[in-house]
């Protein structure tokens, strides 16, 4: 029962985090000149529009996962390499901003809300939302498909890097799944997430 409750208290953070992440990709793409996300109905924070079943289950079970990628046509960008990198960075940046705001809500809760069981539940939800958004930020910056990091590295590296990704796309995706299942990702990104969490807490507390 405790495990089930803990999973339920993670859900709000997951649903908000993936919705903010993908909305921000879509919003940035539209601002860069590509209306594809708008036409596909992805400029919304409705999580139903953004959930990838496998990525969602991975988030619940393993703590790392992804949403359904927003489709982008970079041929509509004025500067495809730069604009693609901006769009890729928009999602992780939005997750960091969300984590920052929710640490602020933790501070307000601690200062102005009387402590009781409901407050304790709220506190856990707020903490989980901060953690999940930091996870989505750091995890998605890994430069392996289908994560945002590979768009950023590809945009910086140019044709040779993109050719590598195109050639080994499926193999790299499989490697990523193995790293998730066998907790290899945790070893790499947990120290970064913990550092960012402590940094945000130090700002408000």
Tens digits of residue pLDDT in 135-188: 999 999 999 998 999 999 999 998 899 999 999 999 998 888 888 878 888 898
The residue-averaged pLDDT of 125-129 equals 96
Q: Tell me how far apart the alpha carbons of residues 40 and 105 are, in angstroms, rounded to a whole number.
A: 33
Please state the pTM of the whole predicted model: 0.91
Dihedral angle computed from the Cα positions of residues 23, 24, 26 and 29, in that order, rounded to the nearest 10 degrees: 170
Hey, which residues are catalytic here? 22
Nearest to residue 179, comparing CAs of 139, 137, 136, 138? Answer: 139
Q: How would residue 6 be classed by pLDDT, with cut points 50, 70 and 90?
A: confident
- Tell me: the pLDDT tens digits for 34-75? 999 999 999 999 999 999 888 888 877 777 677 888 999 989
Domain that holds residue 40: 2-204
User: How many distinct structural domains can be found in the chain?
Assistant: 1
Q: Tell me how far apart the alpha carbons of residues 180 and 79 are, in angstroms, rounded to a whole number.
A: 34
Do the beta carbons of residue 205 and residue 107 sit within 8 Å? yes
């Amino acid at each position: 029962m405790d495990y089930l409750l803990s999973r339920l208290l993670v859900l709000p953070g997951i649903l908000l985090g993936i919705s903010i992440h993908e909305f921000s990709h879509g919003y940035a793409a539209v601002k860069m000149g590509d209306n594809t996300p708008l036409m596909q109905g992805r400029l919304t924070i409705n999580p139903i529009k953004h959930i990838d079943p496998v990525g969602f289950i991975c988030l619940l079970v393993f703590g790392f996962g992804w949403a359904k990628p927003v489709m982008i046509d970079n041929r509509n960008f004025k500067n495809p390499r730069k604009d693609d990198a901006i769009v890729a960075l928009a999602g992780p940046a939005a997750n960091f901003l969300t984590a920052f705001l929710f640490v602020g809500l933790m501070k307000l809760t601690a200062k102005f809300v009387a402590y009781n069981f409901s407050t304790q539940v709220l506190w856990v939800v707020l903490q989980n939302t901060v953690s999940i958004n930091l996870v989505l930020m750091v995890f998605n910056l890994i430069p392996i498909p289908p994560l945002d990091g590979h768009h950023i590295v590809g945009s910086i590296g140019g044709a040779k890097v993109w050719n590598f990704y195109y050639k080994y796309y499926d193999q790299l995706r499989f490697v990523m799944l193995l790293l998730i299942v066998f907790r290899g990702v945790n070893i790499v990104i947990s120290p970064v997430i913990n550092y960012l969490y402590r940094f945000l807490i130090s700002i408000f507390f």
